[in-house]
Structure 1
């Protein structure tokens, strides 16, 4: 009877499948790739970005299997458009994507070059093309992340921003497999920008939408930010911050809320307020120093 139970147990273990897509990736990826995925999985929210990278991992793994059977390989372009409000994690995700692409063998270096209009657009004819080519050269082997990319088209036909777009388009044709270009910005502005440039959508086949964080996600982000600084929220401080974020999201900023960036600024202000408050206390405990209280969170007109 005992032996029979043992046999059934081993059979159950053998057919057990990973419960989530993240688990499945961890069990099929090499250690270096799995470690890079762990950084992505550790981010709060951002499910669409995580799902995309899991799909790319699966595609590359199937390509290796197809190669064993002399089948055609599925080649894809990984240039992307990130659409979302400020503070939704676009730059952070771009940086982690670069590392994952390196570990996967898609990119040779995996570094991030972050630029905006002023970095690309020059002041005279020919200057813009040279600046753009130089930045593309720096990005080879990694990710070229262009924030507020729609600003390149704001000056009209005679603006040097158009020259930057033309130069970038040529770089995508000539060296498109040697780096990944990511255009980022507000959703509506990015859609309008792509409509004005008919050649762009086909060169950027992957579009990711970065949704605003929920209030609970923002509180988790606050906890994470504070943990790295060795601070924590008291129960009353957490509730005060929660109610403030609800009001900011619903009544004040509506569509222009800056998400994690707003939370970071609020925490930094509270840490300063706490420092001033603690000056009045002669004997401070470790708990006193680490804990932010409700009175440390003060906002104008709150």
Structure 2
């Protein structure tokens, strides 16, 4: 939970930015002239490092475009200030909508780093919470817990996962107290922290509709759709490569079959990259058991130690 971001006041007449992620192929950044979506960014410095980190993520082209727009706005704002011109104040509270494993938390961390690097957040850390962290057991307890977490997020981002759960209990539920406390903090500490609400798309739409004042406070709303199978395979290959493992062609075929079956059987809440990570970690354990049985009286070779075979790839529902 360590990252960076910004906040501000949103006029009720401000226009919301709605971004739909289509998860196309990632953009490559060269060492000499890094780019994002065809636009050149500084070759050195914190922003270049942030762009390289974002570029390593599969897909998310519209998020990359949005990050570049924010960078451009902040940079031009600095130029305007130096020229004695008024620099417009922007609000960066956000809503991330999508299934688990689509990159919401990772993107929040990267955006936080950007805002810190551009001087908009004093600390640039990420405080990730959920309903249980905010809602207390008796009247007044919720407001106290929520204020403490907001205080902890000052200078950074408060990231509330499954934010819609705060509105599930109705008017008498303590979740409403948490919402009211958060809304008040957005007014009292306008430019001292950024709030990002995240959760399933339909549930988040319902949550925003429960409080007429909420939608206008979040000028940036981003939809994170499920990854395509090709992208999930790319994610899996990147995960195993980092650990010095490889997926042979037969393993890649098995992976595609497992992904297709999982997406078909769990269309509502497919966990995307999270499913892939769990599957790869499980495969590494199965590979270790297989090798230990095969080489009881000797040591496996380097290639054997690296290779994940189809029989190592199994879906154990209890582990997912």
TM-score (norm 1): 0.89
How far residue 22 of structure 1 moved from its aligned partner, in angstroms, is: 4.7
The reply to whether residue 138 of structure 1 matches residue 149 of structure 2 is no
Partners of 2:286 and 2:312 within 8 A in 1: yes
Q: Secondary structure at the match of 2:95?
A: strand
Q: How is 1:154-233 mapped onto 2 (pairs within 5 angstroms)?
A: 154-233=168-247
Query: Which residue number in structure 2 is paired with residue 286 of structure 1?
Result: 302
The separation in 1 between residues aligned to 2:202 and 2:288, in whole angstroms, is: 41
Query: Which residue number in structure 2 is paired with residue 125 of structure 1?
Result: 139
Q: Which blocks of at least 5 consecutive residues in structure 1 are unaligned?
A: 1-17
Tell me whether 144-153 or 253-262 shows the greater mean CA deviation. 253-262
Q: Secondary structure at the match of 2:223?
A: strand
Partners of 1:36 and 1:99 within 8 A in 2: yes
Which one scores higher on RCO, CA 8 angstroms, separation ≥ 6? Answer: 2
Query: Which residue number in structure 1 is paired with residue 262 of structure 2?
Result: 248
Q: Spell out, residue by residue over 1:62-117, the C-alpha distance to the aligned partner (whole angstroms, 9 max, x if none).
A: 21222234332121110100001011011111111111111111111111100000
How far residue 290 of structure 1 moved from its aligned partner, in angstroms, is: 1.1
Query: Which residue number in structure 2 is paired with residue 262 of structure 1?
Result: 275
Partners of 2:116 and 2:123 within 8 A in 1: yes
Query: Which residue number in structure 1 is paired with residue 99 of structure 2?
Result: 85
The separation in 1 between residues aligned to 2:307 and 2:88, in whole angstroms, is: 53
Q: 1:247 to 1:155 in 2, by over 3 A?
A: same
How far residue 26 of structure 1 moved from its aligned partner, in angstroms, is: 1.7
The separation in 1 between residues aligned to 2:35 and 2:237, in whole angstroms, is: 25
Query: Which residue number in structure 2 is paired with residue 39 of structure 1?
Result: 53
Partners of 2:37 and 2:61 within 8 A in 1: no
The reply to whether residue 149 of structure 1 matches residue 163 of structure 2 is yes
Partners of 2:34 and 2:41 within 8 A in 1: no
The separation in 2 between residues aligned to 1:147 and 1:165, in whole angstroms, is: 13
The separation in 2 between residues aligned to 1:300 and 1:139, in whole angstroms, is: 38
Tell me whether 35-44 or 204-213 shows the greater mean CA deviation. 35-44
TM-score (norm 2): 0.84
The separation in 1 between residues aligned to 2:154 and 2:124, in whole angstroms, is: 9
The separation in 1 between residues aligned to 2:79 and 2:177, in whole angstroms, is: 43
The separation in 1 between residues aligned to 2:285 and 2:52, in whole angstroms, is: 33
The separation in 2 between residues aligned to 1:53 and 1:176, in whole angstroms, is: 21
How far residue 299 of structure 1 moved from its aligned partner, in angstroms, is: 3.3
Q: Spell out, residue by residue over 1:217-241, the C-alpha distance to the aligned partner (whole angstroms, 9 max, x if none).
A: 1011111111222211111101110
The reply to whether residue 48 of structure 1 matches residue 99 of structure 2 is no
Aligned length: 282
